[in-house]
Structure 1
Amino acid sequence: MNSITKYVTMVLLGFLLANSIYGQTSKNRNKMKLNAGIITEKFAETKKFYTEILGFGITFENEFYLLLHTPDRSSEISFLLPNHPSQQPLFHQPFKGQGMYLTIEVDDVDALYQQLKKKGVEIKIEMRNEPWGDRHFAIQDPNGIGIDLVKYAPQE
């Protein structure tokens, strides 16, 4: 094997090895799934709000934990009672109602806006169009969490 052939072989082997390592790392990253959790004393009110107002379904529920999913099952959110003996102290303190928001992207923000108004849900930020093209409005859940309901503008 001449030196050029050896060099090309080494470059190709290096490329294949790097691609194999990168491919594994990339695959592992794709397995990550986020589930936001809120510790709340307002367990019943929260369940009612998300299921009856926003149409979420119940994935799992017991006396201290509630896992809900969006109507299309693409995302989940969980709620936990504070100070539950089954949980470590890190998960005991309840959310204090500030410094958090959720964004829910919907296909038809105008229809959802009308549905929520008919249900008597208080609209905290009226329907508006943003200069960058998004159309949205906001409500608040029983825990004080602002929920931005938005139809994103297509990116050009």
Structure 2
Amino acid sequence: MRTLLLILCMLTTRLASTQTQNKMKLNAGIITEKLTETKQFYTAVLDFGVSFENDFYLLMHTPNKSAEISFLKPNHPSQKPIFQSPFNGKGMYLTIEVKDVDKVYKKLKNKEVPIEIEIRDEPWGDRHFAIVDPNGIGIDIITYTKPEE
């Protein structure tokens, strides 16, 4: 019995170690001159918090700290060429899934945040609306619902 417990303990430790090694976290980054405007928007409009900030980099997190997004000044001497060019405001969007999209919609309307796409239901099962951040990034705020039959 003692040997069996020892083997189970070793297998559990190995499995936990393998799961930790395979864990992956994504942090999207946008290169922009508008760090101040971006910080103001994400904190005031979406209730994000600041994880880290310096004169050329801003790392922000969702209210529950489950996801992060970063912003970097273009052409900063500390960065390699691949991280120099600013985002041009096209070809990117973010999706933020929330528990109650109607509540968030009402809150943003009360704050007089411009709504790019009014709240609506989609036949594939999304209830959502969209806003745009200071960098021109569309933000789709969504609650997933059952698709129409």
What TM-score bracket applies, with the shorter chain setting the length? 0.7 to 0.9
Match of 1:105 in 2: 97
Which structure would you say has the larger Rg? 1
User: Structure 2 residue aligned with 1:28, among 21, 29, 44?
Assistant: 21
Matched, 1:115 2:115: no
User: What is the CA-CA distance between 1:154 and the residue it aligns to?
Assistant: 5.1
Give TM-score scaled by structure 1 length.
0.80
Q: Distance in 1 between matches of 2:20 and 2:140?
A: 31
Match of 1:4 in 2: none
Q: Distance in 1 between matches of 2:96 and 2:122?
A: 16
Per-residue Cα deviation, 1:11-63 (whole angstroms, up to 9, x for no partner):
xxxxxxxxx89x94x6533x110000000011111010001110000000000
User: Structure 2 residue aligned with 1:91, among 74, 83, 87?
Assistant: 83
Unmatched runs of 5 consecutive residues or more in structure 1: 1-19
Q: Give the number of the structure whose residues are more often helix, by fraction.
A: 1
Does structure 1 conserve the Cα–Cα contact (< 8 Å) formed by 2:124 and 2:146?
no
Unmatched runs of 5 consecutive residues or more in structure 2: 1-13
Q: Distance in 2 between matches of 1:127 and 1:153?
A: 14
Match of 1:74 in 2: 66
Q: Distance in 2 between matches of 1:133 and 1:33?
A: 27
Match of 1:3 in 2: none
Residue 94 of structure 1 aligns to a residue in which SS? coil
| Aligned Cα root-mean-square deviation (Å) | 1.8
Q: Percent identity?
A: 65
User: Structure 2 residue aligned with 1:51, among 25, 37, 43?
Assistant: 43
Residue 69 of structure 2 aligns to a residue in which SS? strand
Q: Distance in 1 between matches of 2:93 and 2:103?
A: 22
Does structure 1 conserve the Cα–Cα contact (< 8 Å) formed by 2:41 and 2:133?
yes
Matches within 5 A, 1:115-134: 115-134=107-126
Residue 119 of structure 2 aligns to a residue in which SS? strand
Residue 131 of structure 2 aligns to a residue in which SS? strand
